[in-house]
Structure 1
Amino acid sequence: MSKTFTDQLGTSHSFTLTPKRIVSLVPSQTELLYDLGLEDDIVGITKFCVHPFHFKSTKKIVGGTKKVHVEKIRLLQPDIIICNKEENTPEIVEALSKICPVWVTDIITLEDNLQMITDFGLLFNKRVEAQKWIDKTNHALIDFQNFIKDKQVQKVAYFIWANPYMVAGKNTFINELLKLNHFENIYTNREERYPEVIIQKMRIQGDPDIVLLSSEPFPFTDDHAFELGRFTHHAKVIFVDGEMFSWYGSRLVKAFSYFKQLHSKI
């Protein structure tokens, strides 16, 4: 008798047995699967799946998040492929659906994140482990909310790319975490989720108190920091760990501790 599960895009997937051979095309979700005790079930990952470190030598690398080797994945004979709406393209999902069910997550809010952990617990028969991570996440969240509640709201710009300069906008997980940190994103009035911006207009746009330069996906340098600082009145320019602001799953527990340290520097 098969069981039916629904992913975060509303697609139903039926399985007669718990999926045992997993290909994960999302770095943060690879980390979550590992933390749920599924290391032995993971057969394929991307070159960007850097946590846990030893996976790069023990798991088959099947490409990146935007370009994958379909035939390499087919040869792994997966029972399920884990994708994400933002990280992977609709074309990848469609092509891989001919191999096996493709489970697509869609994470914008903290609630979406908890739903993903719950879903994986049910899907892979790891309910107890999933609940532990949900409890850890909620505990760390409450602790951080108490820490941040009296902090003044500050205006920020969160840069993810240069040449052209691009920032995190609205309807992104990054923006949710900025709000949680009492950071007001000056670019949430733009329609795009990751808009290109003209840095010479930063003062007009909102003149941030803080400019955050993410460690991923672009390797910002001191030269970028200097250039961006010129186009604000008084902003502090700070390099931040992009994994802490953009990775969901179990990483969030570490992120709350990181955010506390960040605020001590501001």
Structure 2
Amino acid sequence: MLFTDQLNRQITIEHPPQRIVSLVPSQTELLYSLGLEKEVVGITKFCVHPLTWFREKTRVGGTKNIHAGIIRQLSPDLIIANKEENLAADVELLMKDYRVWVSNIQTLEDAYAMIAGIGAITHRVQAAADLVSQIKAGFASLHPLPEAVPTAYFIWRDPWMVAGGDTFIHQMLQLCGFHNVFGLLPRYPAVTAAELASSGCRRVLLSSEPYPFKEKHIAELQAVLPDARIQLVDGEMFSWYGSRLTEAPAYFQSVIEN
């Protein structure tokens, strides 16, 4: 059968994959939600959900530090990767020897297409469709802020780095009613204290990942943005685009109302 990934690459696989390696934490969790316990044989060291898989499945390195030798030992018939989270050179090397399905996600619609695509290639079409329906229902019930609030979403410290406009996080902010003050910048730009101070930001969200922001960092940023409301948020909810999206709307509602 012929399948198309989100780079518009065609992948031929005749039988349901029996040995899957996932190089993307949020998609590892998706594979679990689709009931692929026996089929998934390898994950990354950042694939922390579900905890049982994190403890028991073979780890093939990090998302950007893949150990090809371990993957070779696992003899996968399908590898799940992502354009942003994995290095292009690593993925291209794997493509020479294995079937690799690559996602490319910036929007919620991209996430829906990814879930459906992985559901198709793993022969879990109905489970994937049910999951998408559940996620759509959750977002349909989300009540965003009545007026857009100028907001900055921080992912890193030293240097300060924020989510720009062509990210999945950016759309999650929009759906909540937050106006990303750095939405005109690409990807994850570094910003200076002066840029922060002049941004007009009234709300700051400090993500739990990839940098583990804590309470102690709030005061540090409050000195730069004395009038802004600053809070810690769960980065997985804003950036994981697999089955974690079933939990995201309720979490977003709590952030909106907090």
> Does the 8 Å CA contact 2:202/2:227 hold for their aligned counterparts?
yes
1:5 aligns with 2:10: no
Structure-2 residue corresponding to 1:40: 38
* One-letter identity of the residue aligned with 1:201: E
On the 8 A contact 2:149/2:202 being kept in 1, the answer is: yes
CA distance in 2 between partners of 1:103 and 1:90 (Å) = 13
- 8 Å CA contact 1:22–1:81 kept in 2: the answer is yes
Once the 2 structures are TM-superposed, how far is the Cα of residue 203 of structure 1 from its aligned partner? 2.7
Amino acid at match of 2:179: E
Root-mean-square deviation (CA, aligned residues, Å) is 1.1
d(CA) in 1 for partners of 2:251, 2:139:
12
* TM superposition score normalised by structure 1: 0.94
Structure 1: 4+ residue segments shifted above 4 A: none
Aligned to 1:226: 219
CA distance in 2, matches of 1:218, 1:203: 21
What is aligned with 2:109? 111
Deviations 1:63-89 (A, max 9, x none): 000001100001100001100011001
Please point out which of 171, 182, 198 is paired with 2:192: 198
Q: How does 1:106-145 map to 2 (within 5 A)?
A: 106-144=104-142
1:158 aligns with 2:153: yes
Aligned-partner Cα distance in 1 for 2:234–2:12 = 38
1:157, distance to aligned residue in structure 2 (A): 0.5
SS of 1:180's partner is: helix
Percentage of matched positions with identical amino acids = 46
> After superposition, what is the alpha-carbon deviation per residue over 1:111-165, rounded to whole angstroms, capped at 9, x for unaligned?
1011011111211111110111011011111111xx22x6221010000001111
Native 8 Å contact 2:215 2:232 kept in 1: no
| C-alpha deviation, 1:233, in angstroms | 4.4
Listed one character per residue, the Cα deviations across residues 216-235 of structure 1 (whole Å, up to 9, x for unaligned) are 00012333211211222410
User: Of the candidates 187, 198, 205, which is equivalent to residue 182 of structure 2?
Assistant: 187
Structure 2 contact 152–181 (Cα < 8 Å) conserved: yes
DSSP-derived class of the 1:213 partner: strand
Over residues 16-55 of structure 1, what are the superposed CA-to-partner deviations in whole Å (9 max), with x where a residue is unaligned?
1122210000000000010011111000000100100111
Unaligned runs of 5+ in 2: none
2:150 counterpart SS class: strand
Aligned counterparts of 2:220 and 2:200: Cα–Cα separation in 1: 15
Structure 1 unaligned runs (5+)? none
| TM, length-normalised to structure 2 | 0.97
Q: Do the aligned residues in 2 keep the contact of 1:174 with 1:245 (CA within 8 Å)?
A: yes
State how many pairs are aligned. 258
1:102 corresponds, among 95, 100, 103, to: 100
